[in-house]
Structure 1
């Protein structure tokens, strides 16, 4: 009786499966294109999804009009829904897109299924210029582009700052593009110098991050555009399987005009200083002995570039020998403007006695506010030098030959010269030269052996302990998702990217130098398209990740 019940139950299950498959195959396939908003602002991202429903073998050929947008990330997902025995299988190809320009655009997907080409519905997208500052600041997360000056002269430096404002908890952020700017040499501020602070915008509390900051030095005159760049911020979600959610934004483009310096009235000793220049100078003494020296300490500061200032005293100072050194140079940002300070120390050694007058030293610079060449002054002074000049040998010899007042010459008789050193409190050891050479050779040999042993031990111990820890976790993991989480932590530790949150292009760029792109993408695709995992699938996944682990151990940490 029990056997009949089991047979009946198995028959019902098998029949249900066949009926389910029959329902799936009998349904009409659907192809749909969706977007979360058909009205976008330039610099704003949108989520586009092409869904293939009840057509398991359908493949996306292309999306017409996608060339007007930047695709910053893409992934696939599969879902199955069963209602009253009616199964619906849906595959979605998801894209995060950003418009390249303002205008009206059309999007339509093409899908190849069973040898035929099907088209999705058509989306009419309207893209307007970037939001106003007021609209932008009404959001919970946005990025600002700040340029310290829109119009400068050749020789000035300008500060470019990208600020991220967020009311969310941020895991990480950064620009997705290289910040190459035509017509400028850039110098980026180190990340550890960038700041974050709480601010209030329209009564709302935000965290303001200095995402990137740099000095720009123009190489030629003209009008230039600082392009807009794609920006990604990963917002923490607190979810176990997906710890963050990416937000994509775009920085504003900025135009900057670089003007040539006027040649009229340009001083012949012009250093190339453009901007406001301040000079602080101080003499260490006003009265010195002939055998002494004094220091002139000079500090130049302002919003000008001092790269071309290497020496302040070009000519000699009458009555002094001059020894000049640059002691310190500091660049910084004050009130979002470039600021620099250089300190010089000038040592003056007198060549004669008496009151020696030092004339002022003038440093020419171009003032952008006045549009004229001006001069900053190192003030002069009078130094009193005391003491008599020593009589040189020629003067002494002339006095003797003149015979008028010859001084008596004292003769010192040296009876004995001893070259034996006084070794009070010391002990002298004497060795044969051959013994010294042999001993030195033995010492060098032992040193080489010790170095080789040290290298051997270091090589054997050369392991990345953290990677090895992840590897041990991987061996003990039994769950499909647990294995992938360990793998994600392994990649995040080594390359500072998340396989779950980072866009594919960033992952490919990070891994391109390590020959890891294909195996890592293979694991990602496998996880995205996986169905119910089996033990065989887990063994396959572990094997793939172990191969990647071996390559990681042989690669340099980035």
Structure 2
């Protein structure tokens, strides 16, 4: 009886301890960097998650602060502590806001979900006061270093080429830094959300932009263009582009009347970080007119010219002829679908090779797109290659245009060579590759047999397996423990290890919407799988991913040019199919998902 009584008391004691905060799996708290904020100034909301399951927690559910603050961007950091052999991980999330309304406000609790439970923080009271309108503030060492720089000395501006555009008409945005202080470097903290736009980034040498000087309202500024991009809206309506946020590293010198402060200060100054944001940009997107809209409208908007040509006009039967159809002009050429050309049945026509070159000059997006067909005439005579027609919308003229090439005459004479039937067996490329490989050689001799001999117990395979099992189990446990610790503390390692699993999951989501009516969703999910996989492998954010930089990083890791080109060809197909007016068949989507899987698998083997 005494034994069961002690056991009962110990059980109650353990239950009380496990429910105390000391034994809690997760602790969540929120706080701000300052409670009294001037209107127009920035403040930061911190969410700190600590405990054993901090890495397994989801994204915090933030309260709505839009009534008195504008969201600018976010960041995160992690810290690891080991006390008495026990590891503690703390994850801190930072959310930056800008005060927009005066008054006293309450930031409601932040909620975090983990392990099927919901954790809440306390509420925070803040006060937004009227801006003093002056950059001269009392000198004290506790103030924020970034407050030493006013918004008149350093700011970010977005300049659009126009405020009203048609659907699929290019909207060119130029982001510039205007500064009167010594900016040594900068980094992108938040890029504007571009959902609903086709994006072309033409930024050149973003890390070291070319600077010039401008005089604004009698004040001289150093100006640097840090990003140039073209947005092609895919739907009509009023759009608002969120601010871009960057962090500038500024070299400053502290001014003091104390001679000793000046003597011991760094003569080259010290570096401080300053976050700046552009203003939200309102854009009006006009729908394309429905009146006089051609039934075969290609969907592209801009100013174009087209041409068609062949490499030779006199050929023999069974001799290949190259037919080129070229579209040249300013606009979103990448979304131009393959033209529907009805060639004569006297020709054997192969799928076209498509090449495109898009560039940005003097604020205009222009380029060429070429469709190159291989035609093989089977019958002699005078053959006519049809004129190619293309319907476009010209925003400068505010009307639809029907572009057309001239008809091409081809003289085909009968060939004296015999028809090479071996090249036209009806086999596909995949079937031809299997020739001589589908039947294995049959061995005509059997292996040599030897008489069985009794073996000692210690030479028995099962005996050796049982002896090695404990050692292998301990080794495996140690390796797994190190792997689990690294997964919690090393973000790059964790993303790399989970990359294949996440890519397979996203491709599985794409398969669920593999339907002709949901083609855009299918290619959107497939695109997420491709972009997410390479971003996880290289430990870079998916947002704002620049293809040129990624290709350079892959080349440095030893990935072949062929593998890189195939991978990003799949990415380009996803982008084009998402915004193309044409629908894809189930077979095309099935073929593409196999191609995407092969591209991911090949890249995974070479990294």
State the TM-score bracket (shorter-chain normalisation). 0.3 to 0.5
- TM-score where L is the length of structure 2: 0.42
* Higher relative contact order, chain-length normalized (CA < 8 Å, sep 6+): 1
- TM-score where L is the length of structure 1: 0.46
Look at both structures and tell me which one has the larger radius of gyration over its CA atoms. Answer: 1
